[in-house]
Amino acid sequence: MSKFKIYPKALLVLFVILIASCSKKEDKLAYAKQMLAGKSWYLMFATQENQTKSFVDKSTYSIQFLDSQKTADSDGITGTYQVIEQKNQLHILVAGITQNGVSANYTYQIDHIAPTILKISYTQNSILIQKTFMTNR
């Protein structure tokens, strides 16, 4: 009789694990969207080919991600953005347009996001570029 009690318990444990793992994926995406939106992000550091450049206390590149999923940056690019998850990695997809009407579509990988810090990376001309943004200068 005790054999039958093990199976329902095992099924319950598997069900709880399944539900918990699904909610973590949704929570991770929702958390990233919440942390990103409604803020202006200022470039603090850029790393390329093992060389880090500091922009602390300098007027430099910034980007706004609005709650309405619209974006605008200090280079004059405006458009829309979305946060997605692919292969267990978060990305920011931007569909923008320059002041001259040229399309500016790009994807950033989110390496880290918190209330006041955003670390992203992307590859350009086969070179990995990493950038750190903060919400205050």
Domain 2-134 is found in CATH 1.10.3470: no
Model confidence at 7, pLDDT cuts 50, 70, 90, reads: low
- Segment 31-90, tens digit of pLDDT: 999 999 999 999 999 999 999 999 988 888 999 999 999 999 999 999 999 999 999 999
Domain edges within the chain: 2-134
Q: What SS3 class is residue 44? A: strand
Instruction: Give the number of other Cβ atoms within 10 Å of residue 56's Cβ.
Output: 12
Structure tokens at 56: 């602390």
Share of the chain above pLDDT 70, in %: 80
Q: What's the predicted TM-score (pTM) here?
A: 0.78
